[in-house]
Structure 1
Amino acid sequence: MVSEVADSSTFTSKTRLSWNYAAFPHRPCTGLVRICPLSEAWKRFEQHVKLIFAGPLKEKDEEEQVSYLLLLWIGEKGRDIYNTFPAFSNDDMKKLQPHYDRFLRYVQPKLNPIFAKYKFNNEVQGTNTFDQFVTKLKLLARDCNFSDAEEMIRDRIVFGIQSEKIREKLINVGEVLTLDKAVQIAQAYEYSQEHLKLMGHQSVHVQALSKSTPHAHSPAERSGRRPPHQTKTRSTPPK
């Protein structure tokens, strides 16, 4: 998706977009073709570039930063695509955002909200952690055009969560359940279960050590003599 290329003249490494990650979406996506990996690659690439411009290259003015983007990081294939764009105004030519927007429109497929909702409504937690599950739901919801995305994510958490105990807790809250409250309840339960497992493991470990440690003996026992209170006395036979 992205590759790191060393360049000591600027900073330790810089990101270059790999245009071979997926076929270019020259036509709008139709049918079940909903997510274009190249569009996701571009979004991550853009985020990485912005971090570089905010850090190692923050002293460069914006016009120079545009040059880094076009000359070094989008590669030859990216420049070929750039040359197909309508001409930029003199002002936009010196700004990064118009370039980001043009490339994103090029790689972004036409959204299919019906299929996006199908994917969202069939998402379940499975073997993922709860935090991973919620993050995936939030990403899927972006393409669904929900009028109330938080409510839909909240409901999907209730329907798709793996733990029946958490589902019961969420349902018992009733109509006042919000997305934030659902996340709080589920995280608290998941974390408590992890802590209980850890405590149980440590308890078993301590018991095992206790059984394997020999008991201490008194000096008399170590010498083979019986302690005074354990000395056998000869019983006197009845007369």
Structure 2
Amino acid sequence: MDRLPEFAAFDYADKADAGPKWEKWIRRLELLFTGMDIEDNGRKRALPLHYAGERVFDIYEAEKGHTAPNYAATKQVLADYFSPRKNPQMEVYKFRNCKQNASQSLDEYVTKLRKLSKDCEFADADNEILSQIIQNCRSNRLRRRALREPDMNLKTLLDLGRALEVAETQALTMEAQNERYSVNNIRKPPGKQRSRNPRSKDQVTKSESNIDKPCGNCGLTHSRTSVCPAKGQQCRFCKKLNHFQRVCRAKKRASGQHRNPNVCMR
């Protein structure tokens, strides 16, 4: 008789996470069956009880009842113990209420939906995932495109969603670079010159007190005598000149924001 190869026992420490660990352990054991060309049902039943360890063997003896002494039944007894069946209705509820959050990519969201769908007993999981993405994804562009094309399948939707994510990332990077370029090209105020009519101390104090207030056109802090970096620039939101999108009053009104009374107006 051939000597049995070494195989790690089942690490059963906490029943709360034993289900996924058991599924992974039994899949690895079945790969061993394939590698050793084990097809005999009796040997396949005996090996998990041998390799899993004494504690698992005791669990099987207590839980087996009148089940048949074969591999499939033995495997099911232990699977039911470590991974008790969940309530399909509750799992469907969790699936339906799963929305893509701000930090998730589309692929991460789909992975989460696939995990939730395993316990929902859907007849067509891909179709359910497709519907869930259309309803609860963050991208309005992706949603509108999917609604315009009702025959779109899940693969096509995911390809489109990934392309939109890449385009959005590139656009944000370019916009940030453009704003930094605009700020870096501010003309420096002319050097100090002697004034024939020097300002009074009160005038200097009043002028310098405005330096620490953000400008209402660019959002930066600079003195009133400096050239505003937003001068001549077009707002990407309202398309008007001489201010940036981040301080656009039309955008703030559209989003329900209130004007900050500390922001200086130009």
Once the two structures are TM-superposed, the CA of residue 53 in structure 1 deviates from its matched residue by 2.2
Name which of 97, 100, 117 aligns with 2:75: 100
Name which of 107, 119, 123 aligns with 2:98: 123
8 Å contact 2:38–2:44 — kept in the other structure?
no
8 Å contact 2:95–2:116 — kept in the other structure?
yes
Letter in 2 for 1:16: A
Once the two structures are TM-superposed, the CA of residue 60 in structure 1 deviates from its matched residue by 7.9
Structure with the higher fraction of residues in strand conformation: 1
> Which residue number in structure 1 is paired with residue 218 of structure 2?
none
CA distance 1:189–1:54, shift in 2 (3 Å): farther
Letter in 1 for 2:31: L
CA distance 1:75–1:123, shift in 2 (3 Å): same
How many residues are matched?
172
Matches within 5 A, 1:31-50: 37-50=17-30
Which structure has the higher relative contact order (CA within 8 Å, separation 6+)?
A: 1
Q: Deviations over 1:112-156 (max 9, x none)?
A: 123212211121233333223212212212322345433321121
8 Å contact 1:19–1:38 — kept in the other structure?
yes
User: Could you say what secondary structure the match of 2:13 adopts?
Assistant: helix
- Point out where structure 2 has 5 or more consecutive residues left out of the alignment: 175-266
Q: Deviations over 1:82-107 (max 9, x none)?
A: 11213555xx44xx322212211223
| TM-score normalised per structure 1 | 0.58
> Which residue number in structure 1 is paired with residue 86 of structure 2?
111
CA distance 1:146–1:69, shift in 2 (3 Å): closer
Misfit runs of 4+, over 4 Å? 59-62, 191-194
8 Å contact 1:170–1:185 — kept in the other structure?
no
User: Could you say what secondary structure the match of 1:18 adopts?
Assistant: coil
Task: Provide the C-alpha distance between the structure 2 equivalents of 1:189 and 1:125, rounded to a whole number of angstroms.
Answer: 15
8 Å contact 2:15–2:82 — kept in the other structure?
no
8 Å contact 1:158–1:170 — kept in the other structure?
yes
> Which residue number in structure 2 is paired with residue 203 of structure 1?
none
> Which residue number in structure 1 is paired with residue 55 of structure 2?
77
Name which of 125, 138, 142 aligns with 1:149: 125
Matches within 5 A, 1:219-238: none
CA distance 1:87–1:146, shift in 2 (3 Å): closer
CA distance 1:132–1:49, shift in 2 (3 Å): farther
Aligned identity (percent) is 23
Structure with the higher fraction of residues in helix conformation: 1
Name which of 29, 32, 51 aligns with 2:31: 51
- Point out where structure 1 has 5 or more consecutive residues left out of the alignment: 1-7, 24-36, 201-239
Task: Provide the C-alpha distance between the structure 1 equivalents of 2:47 and 2:85, rounded to a whole number of angstroms.
Answer: 29
| TM-score normalised per structure 2 | 0.53
Task: Provide the C-alpha distance between the structure 1 equivalents of 2:121 and 2:38, rounded to a whole number of angstroms.
Answer: 39
Letter in 2 for 1:159: Q
CA distance 1:47–1:129, shift in 2 (3 Å): farther
Once the two structures are TM-superposed, the CA of residue 81 in structure 1 deviates from its matched residue by 1.0
CA RMSD of aligned residues (A): 3.4
Once the two structures are TM-superposed, the CA of residue 168 in structure 1 deviates from its matched residue by 3.1
> Which residue number in structure 1 is paired with residue 140 of structure 2?
164
Once the two structures are TM-superposed, the CA of residue 157 in structure 1 deviates from its matched residue by 0.8
